[in-house]
Chains A and B, each alone.
Chain A
């Protein structure tokens, strides 16, 4: 069975600094996608970034980038130039080719950006 693990329950960062959130996963599949979702205090979950397992190039979306290490089954999220609006719960998620679209989530990391 696939599992997703986020080992940092809470993190904090100063505004304008860079922070990295960790995620590891376990799967026997070769075809899969990984995602980072953000849940601000208002609770609406939104997609931050996604990465295809077959792509070696790390995904980037503006200030958000990932470090995807397929062999190590690691998928970390880097937030550059942190802003107060980045304060949220961040969830790492996995969907495999044999899972019919089912998203499997990690435990979440609560990020606080301090002024």
Chain B
């Protein structure tokens, strides 16, 4: 059974804290993604990684960074959390090389910044 696991389902952090969201996949996928989901805005891509140590900015990278030191793990880092980063964060992974490849998603992390 394929799996994408996000380390937390719910997080509450204080403004200014450095926040780490972790994602692990067990499918040996090359591609990994971090999306932010907000009502009425759908899923917006924050960062994308197509290989270990490789990353590309998505549509809304400001205030975020990522780390991919191992193929199975993709971390999203909020350098200094702000209240406008309160949101649902979704991690996903997929195979590279085929456009029709299915993306697999984690359960999501609901982050609240107070």
List the interface of chain A (C-beta within 8 A of B): 4, 6, 9, 31-33, 37, 42-47, 50, 52, 91, 95-97, 100-108
Contact = CB atoms under 8 A, between A and B. Distances in A.
| Interface hub of B31, B43, B102, B108 (most chain A Cβ within 10 A) | B43
Interface string B63-105: 0000000000000000000000000101010101001111101
A96 B100 CA distance: 10
B99 A97 contact: yes
Contacts of A106: 42
A35 B96 CA distance: 16
B7 interface: no
Contact of B48 (A37, A102, A108): A102
Contact of B107 (A4, A43, A107): A43
Contact of A100 (B42, B48, B105): B48
A94 to B, nearest CB: 10
B105 A107 contact: no
Given A50-B100, A50-B102, A104 B90 contact: no
22 contacts: A6-B42, A9-B40, A33-B100, A37-B103, A43-B88, A44-B105, A45-B92, A47-B103, A50-B100, A52-B99, A100-B50, A100-B56, A101-B31, A101-B94, A101-B99, A102-B48, A103-B45, A103-B92, A105-B44, A107-B40, A108-B42, A108-B43
A114 B101 CA distance: 33
A45 B50 CA distance: 21
Contacts of A105: 35, 42-44
Interface of B: 31, 33, 35, 40-45, 48, 50, 56, 58, 88, 90, 92, 94, 96, 99-103, 105, 107-108
B28 to A, nearest CB: 15
Given A4-B42, A100-B56, 4 more contacts: A33-B99, A100-B48, A101-B99, A107-B40
